[in-house]
Amino acid sequence: MRGLSRRVQAMKPSATVAVNAKALELRRQGVDLVALTAGEPDFDTPEHVKEAARRALAQGKTKYAPPAGIPELREALAEKFRRENGLSVTPEETIVTVGGKQALFNLFQAILDPGDEVIVLSPYWVSYPEMVRFAGGVVVEVETLPEEGFVPDPERVRRAITPRTKALVVNSPNNPTGAVYPKEVLEALAKLAVEHDFYLVSDEIYEHLLYEGEHFSPGRVAPEHTLTVNGAAKAFAMTGWRIGYACGPKEVIKAMASVSSQSTTSPDTIAQWATLEALTNQEASRAFVEMAREAYRRRRDLLLEGLTALGLKAVRPSGAFYVLMDTSPIAPDEVRAAERLLEAGVAVVPGTDFAAFGHVRLSYATSEENLRKALERFARVLERA
């Protein structure tokens, strides 16, 4: 036996998945724990979506699907991107994947050669750097600052561009900061992609979870340079259904489908028919999204008010369902702070793997009762600090 490949040995497991798994295991053991870890809606999948899955089963729609997705769903995606994002794409310029994560993974496999540079804005979702490195790319971090609301500075991005720059990743609304990037900032970043001829990878998975500001898709400015990535997980509470999707230049989409053809073959066929219902039954889906968004807004406000009352600092998020909390009053670093909070019965994710040093990420995709309980336990930790 000659051992594992160097690229697998170099890949770090997802910190968010690992911490959430630990929280679930502690709960199974009977530990009284409030988990603010998972980036997962706590609502059940809407009934009209589940009913569509039942119909697909009853109709025998259980066979292999094409690698890029069933034609009906790709047609609906082209319409969704036109209607909601102002993007003019054909079904052939869309792809369905096993979650938004596979869309990004396939994309980096399709566009990167060894040594190609990808600019990633920090703090960032933990999987971006690992996916880039796994594809042979080089991660170039450009910092966003809490005093600037974690909104990127296009001039700072410009200074990071080199002849090896192949892509820039943007994520708005953002995980883990909750920042929503203004239209003018995204327009400026899209123009940089055109000017310097690199791909703009726009992760818009949280587009419907927006509380202030407006969502803007930079593909409207740079359609030939932009890959727009999204999925059913967050908006429709379909995390376990594992359906992501993307649109962009046809040659890149075709290459991403080739990666799927030699790995997963295709996403789950039944889940694709369910997602088709989510996208096309607009009235029922809109009602669900509005209900969930208002619940998250109330939870965000409750959590922020509670943190402020305790003297804990956090930048007010305008989207998604996360708060980055400054841990300096609790412990010298974010890892020790997360440990102290876990000892008190609250599971959070250290900001280390997000490049959010001195912070922990709190997910408010949980009940108001759980948030109040977490705040009470935060108070006890501070009393002992």
pLDDT 10s per residue in the chain (385 long)? 678 998 898 888 776 677 777 777 877 888 789 999 988 999 999 999 999 999 999 999 999 999 999 999 999 999 999 999 999 999 999 999 999 999 999 999 999 999 999 999 999 999 999 999 999 999 999 999 999 999 999 999 999 999 999 999 999 999 999 999 999 999 999 999 999 999 999 999 999 999 999 999 999 999 999 999 999 999 999 999 999 999 999 999 999 999 999 999 999 999 999 999 999 999 999 999 999 999 999 999 999 999 999 999 999 999 999 999 999 999 999 999 999 999 999 999 999 999 999 999 999 999 999 999 999 999 999 998 7
Residue 73's pLDDT is: 98
226-231: strand order across its sheet = 94-97, 244-247, 226-231, 199-203, 165-171, 117-122, 138-143
Domains 6-44+285-379 and 62-281 share a fold: no
Q: How would CATH label the architecture of 6-44+285-379?
A: Alpha-Beta Complex (3.90)
Please give the class, per CATH, of domain 62-281: alpha beta
Enumerate the domain spans of the chain: 6-44+285-379, 62-281
Identify the pLDDT of residue 1.
Answer: 60
What integer pLDDT is reported at residue 29 of this predicted model?
Answer: 85
| 92 in Cβ contact with 250 (< 8 Å) | yes
| Structure tokens that stand for 114 in this block | 């060894």
- Looking at residue 27, its pLDDT comes to 76
In this predicted structure, what is the pLDDT of residue 15?
67
Cα–Cα distance, 138 to 118 (Å, whole number): 6
pTM exceeds 0.85: yes
From residue 22, alpha-carbon distances to 25, 29, 124, 297 in Å are 5, 11, 22, 27
